[in-house]
Structure 1
Amino acid sequence: MELTNAIAVVTGANRGLGRILAAQLLERGAKVYATARRPETIDLPGVTPLYLDITKPESIAEAAATASDATLLVNNAGISTHAQLIDGDLDAIRLEMETHYFGTLATTRAFAPVIAGNGGGGILNVLSVLSWVHLPQVGAYAAAKAAAWALTNATRAELAEKNIQVSALHVAYMDTDMAASVPQEDKTDPALVAKIALDGFAAGLPEILADDLTRTVKAGLAS
């Protein structure tokens, strides 16, 4: 998909990877709606701030009505509760699934007709290497990202006839607030991840692997 002159909606764009994706889309010539639960925290010049809570259906509907010219949706908003599945807080586990799976599904369902009505475009889902590696200490997060991967694959086939490209970004740890407890040497620069993501999306890749760990894990899945 050509990103120059795209009309992009980026969820969770007030910080971390989402903010950097929004900035790099601007640099590539896109118009950007930068969304957040608190749009007043968006400090990126050149974007259009937009309220969006992906766990609230009425918020999603309002955002889709406002960004009615959208041709690209970046499902980036996320949360990490560090809940384990056996003894973790069930509300936290549900929140992970509500955010990463049902939230991604809801925004996709809302924006797919908008994008199709504007002649087609694309959807980029920000996933994780934990879509494939399911560690017990982040069981809720891994389960939700695995579900989002399945969602991505199914919607890719479903939306192809509407001229909507659906791609997944898989990445391990990035140097963002969410991975603050991870040693620095194990984290990737999110600016590099964003560039790899947008280059891969522009090239039409169905899956974009942003770092060596993710590529190694994906290569080992068949075995």
Structure 2
Amino acid sequence: MNKLSILTIGIIGLVLLISIIPDSPLFEANWALISTIIIMITLVGFFYNIEKSKVTSKEITLISTLGALAAIVRMPFAYLMSIQPTTFIAMITGYIFGPQAGFMVGATAILVSNFYAGQGMWTPWQMFCMGIAGASAAILAKEGRQFNIKQFAFCCALWGYIYGWIMNLWYWTCFVYPLNFKTFVSTYLASLAFDTFRALGNMFFTLLLGNSFYRILIRFRKKLSIEYMKS
């Protein structure tokens, strides 16, 4: 996972924990707005870093196509208890093409599909979560290691919960009052069913499509590498 994302999650978590202390000067702060601004600044940092990196036009085309695919397949499942194959597509992209590609596919898929599902203050948070999910999958890809569908499916399922846990911070700061330990725990318990369905959905789509997507995308990566060497 990118160091910037870890730092962002750590900062938001720390200041939110401080804010639930009644005598804290941060107790009355508008954390819905503050946390969203932090997330948006982080997204800008990610996109700026990707903009400055060396990415070929063919790689951009491939990433755009996968981002569009991830957005399209999210729409039919938008109202089915968080079950959708978008997380899998973002993570398999990150696994094969690296963290930047995984982040771009995940974040772009959310931005585009939310024109159908609905845009709002939650969009930057969803973009951040799905982007980090895609980027984090690159950690599993090591030189010479075979693709392990079961291990990958477990990580996709785990991200079903992590996605929900991060999004709960947005919901907690925007719609829950007061911000204290009791409401914090209640918010997370209330989302447990949705998070579990998301995790099971991620695992299902990974086991169903994982090997096929892996073979197809590996073939594309080899073609890109050969053409890049020729040029």
TM-score between both structures, scaled by the size of structure 1? 0.29
Structure with higher strand content: 1
Q: Choose between structure 1 and 2: higher helix proportion.
A: 2
Higher normalized contact order (CA 8 Å, seq sep 6+, divided by chain length):
2
For normalisation by structure 2, the TM-score amounts to 0.28
Computing the radius of gyration from Cα coordinates, the structure with the larger value is 2
